[in-house]
Amino acid sequence: MGVIGGSVSAGHGVKQNETFHARILQQWNNNFFNHRRNTMIDSSKPATGSDYFSLCFREMLPDNVDLVFVELSINDFREVDAAIEFETLVRSLLSLPSRPAVVVLSTFALMFSEGISTGGDIHLGVAEYYDIPVISLRNTVLPHLMHDYNVENNIFWNERDGLDLRHINSVGHELLADLTTAWMRDVICEEFGPDAQEEETDYDLEERPWWQTTEGLGEVPRLRMTQQWDHDTVDRVKAPICISTTSDPRLSPARVDGWHYEEATSDKMYWTSNISGKQIAFRVYVETGTVGVFYLRSMRQGLGNAGCWVDNKREFGTTVVGYWRYPVSIAQYALIDDQVEPGWHTLTCEILPGTADPAEGNTFKLIGIVSM
């Protein structure tokens, strides 16, 4: 089993043995199918959403995984782009060689100015299109919150941070795990329990109506949900090459001047600089022509701009802006060049003068490189 998620999955504010995925594995071993090889691969990454995982989940999650829990509801914006990125992630997971089952686990937060609704509500349409189950913590807790706002403390208070209305506490993790394992138990009992029966029909199988046949069931739809219907198109899943500051081995520069490797709080790592004109360069292998970077965007961390380009094509480079006006800090993707010849190339990034930050911050934090 594996989990893909942000800071909630990473255990922000709780102990590692209190996370929902640790409890799910424990419940699985205690109540379902105990085996010494049962494992939970923790592929969570704080301050990271579908934008990153849609391209880079393979650097953390093995191809032979059987079941994947996806928890990104408060890491994605309630926007169409988030739905497109989440769909890319789902299609890629379902297309792995092991054909894993995918379950979406939806948490919630109470701190966002946009309201109680989050990117998790955008995920619902994608989950429905791919027939993926969604386990929602909000549906269980919200009626109690509406009746008594003191329930906030039951779900969001932790000893380290106090009342943290973004990250559920150990009770929230326990509830989410128990809701998930209860649903898993129901599915297992329905399929394999003593009361499970063969389907009875009053007609020959050869005469079965088309809507009751099994053709196409369990297959990844050949069209994405945002593509126009036709009879021939097959949307092929891409396998990007992704390496980041938390990869093993981690992202290492071929040339560096004035940048340093930063180990920030909550397991967040960056290649960082705030000195105008300083450069960092990486060797990157390209297969189909595209090079991009992941970097941190924030309104609070004094972020500035970097210019990035491939080989000696500086005039065709991209200005990557770290500051934005959203009250969250999260990894974002920037396309640098989509006209790169196959083979080895050099990606260079340089700190630029000037900044969009009202406080005139000039720091840039690079997280990873993606090529296709």
**Sequence ranges of the domains in the chain:** 2-192, 241-371
Mean pLDDT of 347-365: 97
What is the distance between the alpha carbons of residues 234 and 97, in angstroms, rounded to a whole number?
Answer: 18
Give the CA diameter of the chain.
77
pLDDT confidence bin for 214, thresholds 50/70/90: confident
Q: What is the pTM of this model?
A: 0.93
DSSP code string of 206-251: GG--GGGS-TTTTSPPSS-TTSPP-SS---PPP--EEEETTSSSPP
Using one digit for the tens of pLDDT, what is the confidence trace for 31-46? 899 999 999 999 999 9
Superfamily of the domain at 241-371: Galactose-binding domain-like (2.60.120.260)
Contact 43, 3 (CB under 8 A): yes
Residue that the structure tokens 């549906």 belong to: 139
Using one digit for the tens of pLDDT, what is the confidence trace for 309-335? 999 999 999 999 999 999 899 999 999
pLDDT confidence bin for 201, thresholds 50/70/90: low
What is the distance between the alpha carbons of residues 59 and 285, in angstroms, rounded to a whole number?
Answer: 15
Per-residue confidence (pLDDT) for residue 202, from 0 to 100: 55
Per-residue confidence (pLDDT) for residue 267, from 0 to 100: 81
Using one digit for the tens of pLDDT, what is the confidence trace for 287-314? 999 999 999 999 999 999 999 999 999 9
Say whether pLDDT at 203 is over 90.
no
DSSP 8-state code for residue 116: S
Six-digit token pair at 151?
């329930």
What's 2-192's CATH class?
alpha beta
Say whether pLDDT at 51 is over 60.
yes
